[in-house]
Amino acid sequence: MSEARILDGKATALAIRTEVRSAAAKLEESGCRAGLAVVLVGEDPASHVYVRNKDRAASDAGLAVQTVRLGAATTQERLLQEVRTLAEDDAVHGILVQLPLPSHLDAAEVIEAIPPHKDVDGLTQSNVAALVTGRPGLRPCTPAGCIELLTRYEIGLEGKHVVVVGRSMLVGKPLAHLALAANATVTICHSRTQELEQHCRRADILVAAVGIPELIRGDWVQPGAVVLDVGINRAEDGRLVGDVDFEGASRIASAITPVPGGIGPMTIAMLLVNTLQSAALRCGMTAKDLGWGR
């Protein structure tokens, strides 16, 4: 029997998507249609599913979406050309290159070809520096989605001990910075961390972004803690599971995100938010002009 409150990322993301749709319609009335370009290279089945979901969500929200699909043998130069073309296209306000890229391609160089104001994944060096130094910029969608979910459930971060398990550039590191910016005390754990269990037990807010099915056991959770499970893994029996033992943790935590239906949908919602914000800025509109109530 689950006792923790379920942090419903699906419902929250739906609410955000409705807000984006209404703001995008206002933007369009002023002659500016927000545009998102998604670049997908190769045949990775999970990436195809993610791109389809992003494409659908963006279209539903009234954004103009184009998906550039390139074969697995695409050269670095060809990919850079595609990104540079999108960079110069005034109808495109956000560019997302779906990761991971096939191993012969240099993802870092491709990401740097995206102009920072169109970098809706928040991964360019310029946006990373903005995050670390507290300047405005586009923030990575998954960690931004984690913070947004907490905000909408009125779970404050100030003074809390946030333990982030995982230090990737996509999730763990930016999340740690966002939590710091919200005045949390932050511990970052990773593959070489000693006594992971003890660190987890000290978390008021525990975030798992590792990619190992149910690595975090229920009894590693401090009673009353909030658990955000970013992981999306296929268990041996075929179930989709997170990095946290959901059943065990939900008996001890005060609130927890499910997998699926937690951080995944929030990631897509934040991609729409970033694209809309990027478009609004380019078209000289403010959030207030768009009735964007945040």
- Give the CA diameter of the chain: 56
Q: Which is nearer to ligand NAD, 107 or 130 (CB)?
A: 107
Q: Which of 54, 118, 160, 173 is catalytic?
A: 54
> Catalytic annotation on 277?
no
Pick from 231, 255, 279, 290 the residue near ligand NAD by CB under 6 A: 231
192, 166 in Cβ contact below 8 A? no
User: Segment near ligand NAD (CB under 6 A), from 18-26, 52-60, 199-207, 225-233?
Assistant: 225-233
> Catalytic annotation on 98?
yes
Pick from 191, 198, 202, 234 the residue near ligand NAD by CB under 6 A: 191
User: Segment near ligand NAD (CB under 6 A), from 15-23, 28-36, 120-128, 226-234?
Assistant: 226-234
Q: How far is the CB of 292 from ligand NAD (least distance, A)?
A: 23
What is the pattern of x (binds ligand NAD, CB under 6 A) and - over residues 239-278? ------------------------xx--x-----------
Asked whether position 209 contacts ligand NAD by CB under 6 A, the answer is yes
> Catalytic annotation on 55?
no
Asked whether position 57 contacts ligand NAD by CB under 6 A, the answer is no
Q: How far is the CB of 129 from ligand NAD (least distance, A)?
A: 20
Peptide bond just before 260 cis, omega within 30 deg:
yes
Chain centroid to Cα 38, Å, comes to: 15
187, 202 in Cβ contact below 8 A? yes
Asked whether position 196 contacts ligand NAD by CB under 6 A, the answer is yes
Q: How far is the CB of 239 from ligand NAD (least distance, A)?
A: 14
Q: Which is nearer to ligand NAD, 193 or 254 (CB)?
A: 193
Site residues for ligand NAD, 134-173, by CB under 6 A, read: 142, 165-168, 170-172
**Residues lying near ligand NAD in the complex (CB under 6 A):** 142, 165-168, 170-172, 189-191, 193, 196, 209-212, 230-233, 263-264, 267
What is the set of active-site residues?
Answer: 54, 98, 121
